[in-house]
Amino acid sequence: MDAEAVTVRLTTMKCDPALLGTYDTSGLEEVPYHIAWAREICRVAMLHDAPDSMVVTIHSALPRPLKRHSGNPKTWHELLTNVEGVPMTTLVDDVNDWKAINELRHNNDATVAALQRNATLENSVASLQHSMQSLQLNRSPAPSALPVNRFPFSGNQPIPAGRGIPQSARAPSMNPATLTQPPALPILPAPDAVARLTALRTNILVHHPDSEPGHIAYKTQITEWTQKNPNATPDETKPYPLTPGTAPVGSRECHRCGITGHHGYACSSIAPVPPLETRWRRVAGEIHRDASPRRPPNPRPTDVRFMDTQWTGQPVYVAYQAPPSWSTEAGGYIEEWQQGNE
């Protein structure tokens, strides 16, 4: 082992202050810890011919109780002799005193740190209080508010002329012409509704014109549909033939006669379409409606004014305009989708 490695090893073989006053039981007999430490470090030093100049460094690093009673050795032999000559009882007493002093010093340091923190906190509180006082001094006093009886009349007594509620205290009139609302986003149709509309447009039969060849072709369609779909009801996969000369499906037509311009409840036609065609027009109308984007229920502005001509104990409000009727089942405003065909 070279000199540098020996120096490093001896330097790391420090005497543990926590074990002073105890016995080392690793050998065949109990030996005081400080004596066992001195024997081991001197053995390593003499084995590797460590210079005696290191003794001063090793001795200066000893715990205070052991250093106090071990003199000033100059060689490894003197270090071993002096440490072995330290009585165990004397060392134990000094170690206990040394630990008590260290504990007292630690407590004093903790107390000083706590006092410093409290002083800093008190200074911060005092600074904050001073700032708040300055703010209150700079603030102008608020004027004393006198209680105002805005409603001095009760019951059904009329308000005398010139003693009504001031115009400035009344609720402002809400003019629908001056109120603006953001445009409502349309409600997109469900994917299945779009799929049904696509199937309807794919499977729909040819709508023949109101002519003799058209009626002949229409009768052929009726025969073929009846043979192909016995006891079935028409839908987007089995569209029913349309009477020549009538309106196409989904055109907001009357489901009873197939003509636009009126609703089913007001139909007075003496030549209605076949019942299966009425059924098909109703189904097709529902498909077109479900697959079309619709506007959501958007309440319209309501003009509300306060009537102060007579006080009855409660404010009287008059609504000049009611919101339109919205139908969740119909999916829109009733006046928009109601056809009278259902």
- What is the reported pLDDT for 119? 77
Q: Tell me the C-alpha to C-alpha distance, in Å, between residue 168 and each of 171, 307, 315, 318.
A: 8, 14, 16, 19
- What is the reported pLDDT for 137? 64
Domain ranges of the chain: 3-91, 191-297
β-sheet bridge partners, residue 304: 319
> For residue range 21-45, what is the model confidence (pLDDT) as tens digits?
888 888 778 889 888 989 998 998 8
> For residue range 156-214, what is the model confidence (pLDDT) as tens digits?
555 455 455 555 555 555 555 555 556 656 666 677 888 898 998 999 999 999 999 99
Residue by residue, what is the 3-state secondary structure of the chain?
CCHHHHHHHHHHCCCCHHHCCCEECCCCCCEEHHHHHHHHHHHHHHHCCCCCHHHHHHHHCCCHHHHHHCCCCCCHHHHHHHHHCCCHHHHHHHHHHHHHHHHHHHHHHHHHHHHHHHHHHHHHHHHHHHHHHHHHHHCCCCCCCCCCCCCCCCCCCECCCCCCCCHHHCCCCCCCCCCCCCCCCCECCCHHHHHHHHHHHHHCCCCCCCCHHHHHHHHHHHHHHHHHCCCCCCECCECCCCCCCCCCCCCCCCCCCCCCCCCHHHCCCCCCCCHHHHHHHHHHHHHHHHCCCECCCCCCCCCEEECCCECCCCCCEEECCCCCCEECCCCEEHHHHCCCCC
- What is the reported pLDDT for 312? 56
- What is the reported pLDDT for 228? 92
- What is the reported pLDDT for 321? 47
- What is the reported pLDDT for 181? 58
Tokens of 52: 């005696």
- What is the reported pLDDT for 225? 93
- What is the reported pLDDT for 335? 45
Q: Point out the residues of the chain with pLDDT beneath 50.
A: 153-155, 159, 162, 316, 318-322, 330, 333-338, 340
